[in-house]
Amino acid sequence: MPYLIAGGGIFLLIIVIIFGVKSCGVSHGSPESVVKELIKAYGNGKANRAKSCYKASEGNEEILQKEIDATIRYFEAHKPKKVTIDRCGVLSESKDYTYVYIIYSMELENGQIYPSISTYMTGMEDKKYYVYPPSDVTEEMSQKAAADYAKFMTTDIYKDYVTAYETFIKKNPGYEDRIAGKLQ
């Protein structure tokens, strides 16, 4: 009987360790999951966590860090109480990358919801997905992405985002200028 209790205790400890370690890291299981993790990191002001979402290549670490810091400052300028992921999906795929959109909302201090949209190029390395830093996005990838985004703009998903954004801006004239002023 004591062996059974000790074995059960060890099994429980192993389960806790496995789930504890898994929940501490960034999910690289799909293009969408790594993009969601990136937005969460930005929303929480976690530069190192955001950096772990990227596929950093030699020589671009400084540029990538500046990009991360600037994006975190952008989120902080809004002073969100909470960042919520609304939708995330694949716009296109190729053998070299997956182009992902993410629509998210920032709940502001006054309780209003500021809708946002972003797109990212992701790629796989060692069976894990990473976000490509902007400096690694080629001209060819960028041109293909522009065409894919133009198609996306005709979807109901995008139109719903635009409606929500325009509604927010009508209720909050000058909001974008105030945010831009905070970033200068």
Within a domain: 14: no
Span 32-43, average pLDDT? 95
Within a domain: 66: yes
Within a domain: 10: no
The confidence score (pLDDT) of residue 13 equals 37
Q: Tell me: the pLDDT tens digits for 141-170? A: 999 999 999 999 999 999 999 999 999 999
Within a domain: 47: yes
Q: What is the number of domains present in the chain? A: 1
| Whole-model pTM over 0.75 | yes
Alpha carbon distance 181, 92 (integer Å): 35
| H or E stretch covering 12 | helix 2-24
Q: Is the pLDDT of residue 98 over 70?
A: yes
The confidence score (pLDDT) of residue 9 equals 41
Q: Is the pLDDT of residue 17 over 70?
A: no
Which residues are within 8 A (CB) of 43 and not within 5 positions of it... i.e. 6 or more apart?
Answer: 75, 80, 82, 83, 104, 106
Q: Which domain holds residue 172?
A: 28-183
Helix (H, G, I), strand (E, B) or coil at 28: coil
- Assign 1 a pLDDT band (cuts: 50, 70, 90): low
Within a domain: 40: yes
Question: What are the E-state strand segments in the chain?
Answer: 82-93, 98-107, 113-125, 128-131
Q: Residues of the chain with pLDDT > 90: what percent?
A: 73
The confidence score (pLDDT) of residue 72 equals 95
- Assign 24 a pLDDT band (cuts: 50, 70, 90): very low
CATH at 37: 3.10.450.50
The confidence score (pLDDT) of residue 8 equals 43
Within a domain: 175: yes
For tokens 């995330």, the residue is 88
Within a domain: 19: no
Within a domain: 101: yes
